[in-house]
Structure 1
Amino acid sequence: MSAVSIPAASITGLVLAGGRGQRMGGADKGLQILHGKPLVALVLARLAPQVARVVISANRNCDAYAALGAPWQADVCADTLPDFPGPLAGLLAGLRAARTEWLLTAPCDSPWLPADLAERLGTAALAERADIVTATTTNAEGVVSMHPVFALVRTSLADDLAAYLDAGGRKVRAWYARHTAAEVAFADERAFYNINSLQELAELERA
């Protein structure tokens, strides 16, 4: 018998595309092209089938993101806090926009995210009675890496996150540590690869 997971109908997907793109020279990362498609479109194609609805967190070019989200009726939400305070601000916007019990997050520059991300994180959430579940991978040297922006988060935590941000908190892992959290180990490191520079993007395009 397969493990029980949270149904897709109970999960909203959130693509985090609201950053400054500093390591890309200020470019809007989610709109950069890889193999003929914007990065955010590649992420949406992987994430949308796993959830009931998708929201895109964006602070620039919102019309462009809304157009790209059209096949999945993806809404666009902006940070409620000024000055690009980081991924937690995008997470808060997503938690507020969600109409489901859970929110599944992924960054806009991760075009190979796992097709079973929601299923596996949801299974762990139920099995371990966790309010937040994140993904980890282990490299060839045995070093474990946590991927905190690939996460399943209970939407009832929105008020606590707002209070944390209002108090000046910005660290994702520190906020996670305030709650019952679990981790799921994935074998494929490439699934969580994120593209941080225009040079990396060009190299992947040539490959």
Structure 2
Amino acid sequence: MKPAREHITGLLLAGGRGTRMGGADKGLQTLHGEPLAAHVLERLAPQTGARLISANRHLEAYAALGAPFGATVVADTLAGFPGPLAGLLAGLRAAGTGYVLSAPCDSPWLPAELAERLAHALDSNGADIATVSTTDAHGRVSLHPVFALLRRDLADDLSAFLEAGERKVRTWYARHKTVEVVFTDERAFYNINSLQELADLERD
């Protein structure tokens, strides 16, 4: 059965180092007067039954930012900024629903139909994970693995994977039945990686 909205927890991944932003906390940088994380939460909220924010610093700021969206902050249980899978594990552990929809904090234009399309693909393929790829006008494919809908009961396997020292998202996905859903709007999954990119977008 396709997971319904109320059975999906939206997970905003905001636990990175912000290395390409000079160490700035990416999700708290503003675009058009709002933090990037708020843009993402605004798009996740109508698609999910509950919201979580995975963060490793500025927890009070994220708690205040998430409050209007009913979002609770959770921190990684692994030290040292071990990557998005650690944030995903924290979200899977904290979720009160059977499914988690993850999205990074620096992609403010994610599609309004993201949860619907991933849920349909998960159900129709009997998959454990549904993730995103895009194609451009020339047919080139780009993968966007941190946009994903996952079964919450994958948490124990992910924990074991991380405890073994593994970190790569796609390597872990390969352990499970994963389906890629193709979207044609690349801009919807654009992630802002530098303060210069952010400044350029402010001028648009």
Normalised to the residue count of structure 2, the TM-score between the two structures is: 0.99
The answer to whether the 8 A contact 1:80-1:93 is kept is yes
Residue of structure 2 in register with 1:33 after alignment: 30
After TM superposition, the structure 1 = structure 2 runs for residues 188-199 of structure 1, keeping only pairs within 5 Å, are 188-199=185-196
Shift of 1:188: 0.5
Shift of 1:143: 1.0
Residue of structure 2 in register with 1:42 after alignment: 39
1:200 aligns with 2:204: no
Residue of structure 1 in register with 2:117 after alignment: 120
- AA aligned to 1:182 is V
The answer to whether the 8 A contact 1:5-1:120 is kept is no
Q: Deviating runs (4+, > 3 A) in structure 1? A: none
After TM superposition, the structure 1 = structure 2 runs for residues 129-140 of structure 1, keeping only pairs within 5 Å, are 129-140=126-137
- Structure 1 range deviating more: 5-14 or 170-179: 5-14
- AA aligned to 2:29 is Q
After TM superposition, the structure 1 = structure 2 runs for residues 31-180 of structure 1, keeping only pairs within 5 Å, are 31-180=28-177
Shift of 1:141: 2.0
**SS where residue 146 of structure 1 aligns?**
strand
**Unaligned ranges ≥5, structure 1:** none
- AA aligned to 2:104 is P
2-structure distance, mates of 1:136, 1:82: 30
Report the RMSD for the aligned CA atoms in angstroms. Answer: 0.8
2-structure distance, mates of 1:48, 1:131: 22
2-structure distance, mates of 1:156, 1:190: 31
Shift of 1:139: 1.3
Deviations 1:107-158 (A, max 9, x none): 0000000000000000000000000000110012211111100000100000
- AA aligned to 1:195 is I
**Unaligned ranges ≥5, structure 2:** none
Deviations 1:21-54 (A, max 9, x none): 0000000000000000000000000001100000
Shift of 1:6: 1.9
**SS where residue 60 of structure 1 aligns?**
coil
**SS where residue 69 of structure 1 aligns?**
helix
The answer to whether the 8 A contact 1:100-1:155 is kept is yes
1:184 aligns with 2:181: yes
Residue of structure 2 in register with 1:14 after alignment: 11
2-structure distance, mates of 1:177, 1:145: 17
